[in-house]
Amino acid sequence: MQSLLERKMLKIKNLKISVDNKEIIKDLNLEIKQGEIHALMGPNGSGKSTLSNVLAGKDGYNVTGEILYKEKDLLKMPIEERARKGLFMAFQYPIEIPGVNTINFLKSSLNAIRKSNKKEVLDTFEFLNLVKEKAKALNVNGSTLNRHLNVGFSGGEKKKNEILQMSVLEPMFAILDETDSGLDIDSLKIISNGINSLRSICRSFLIITHYQRLLEHIKPDFVHVLADGKIIKTGCSQLAEELDKVGYGNKE
């Protein structure tokens, strides 16, 4: 019987992704176990966001190969099933949804997941206590929760709101697509603390970033370099420091 730390959260094998007959991901292989944090770095156009979009279930891609999430075929799961089973994605550019109140969105999302997992849904009082505690930890202004989702938010507010969603939903596998882009130093620290607070032996992360500064606060177990649609190098957190100094030109 596998121990908890030996269980694979995500297994990608021989993955190829193309759009309009242009191959973006070329024979990619990656394994992430429970409790691990993996960072994916690489130059623009290397396929990082394409990979995250396919993992989250975005349409419009031609995909071949295998992606197993908790030993189930992820490619056969609709988006809502992926969310119910604990997969979460923080977007590089969080979308604005006029007419959808932020706190109502959070409550509906959380209770849908709890119901799917045969847990009791939270009533309004229980939920408000939970979300206020999470918002305070992330320095999210209470008035933000009563606004329409991301509408009129600054870039930093949108990123904090994404991490607040993750903190409330407590996913099993979180994909963070350039969550650090556009953040000032204080916001970066707050968001990093929010991510670190969710580290556990049962939860895994795939952090996509261009910069080492986020990884100074969140020490990944593994760092992968993606270039030309393939992972060309893997190392420990020190690899990110090396890349910060020399760039991606020296790939070997």
**Helix, strand, coil share of the chain (percent; to 5):** 40, 30, 35
Strand 8-19 and strand 204-208: pairing? unpaired
> What phi-psi label fits residue 24: left (phi over 0), alpha (psi between -120 and 50 degrees) or beta?
alpha
Residue 173 has pLDDT above 70, yes or no: yes
Task: Report how far apart, in Å, the C-alpha atoms of 213 and of each of 41, 117, 166, 210 are.
Answer: 12, 36, 21, 9
Of 5, 3, 2, 4, which Cα lies nearest the Cα of 221? Answer: 5
Put residue 140 in one of left, alpha, beta given phi > 0 → left and psi -120 to 50 → alpha. beta
Alpha carbon distances (Å) from 86 to 69, 114, 116: 10, 10, 10
Q: Which residue do the tokens 């992972």 mark?
A: 231
Please, are residues 220 and 228 in contact by the beta-carbon 8 Å criterion?
A: no
What's the mean per-residue pLDDT of the chain?
A: 90
pLDDT band with cut points at 50, 70 and 90 for residue 250:
low
Per-residue tokens: 91: 């977007």
Q: What are phi and psi of 236, to 5 degrees?
A: -85, -170
- Tell me the pLDDT tens digit for each residue of 178-232: 888 878 888 888 889 989 999 999 999 999 998 788 888 999 999 999 998 899 9
Judged against a pLDDT cut of 80, whether residue 6 lies above it is answered with no
Q: What is the mean pLDDT of residues 154-175?
A: 92
pLDDT number for residue 212: 82
Return the SS3 of 217.
helix
Residues 39, 222: contact at Cβ < 8 Å? yes
Smallest Cα–Cα separation from 3: which of 158, 202, 194, 183?
202
Q: How confident is the model at residue 252 (pLDDT cuts 50, 70, 90)?
A: very low
pTM of the model: 0.91
Q: How far apart (Å, rounded) are the C-alpha atoms in residues 4 and 141? A: 37
Q: What is the pLDDT of residues 115-137, one digit of tens each?
A: 999 999 999 999 999 999 999 88
Give the right CATH number for 4-246 from 3.40.640.10, 1.20.1080.10, 3.40.50.300, 3.90.1170.10.
3.40.50.300
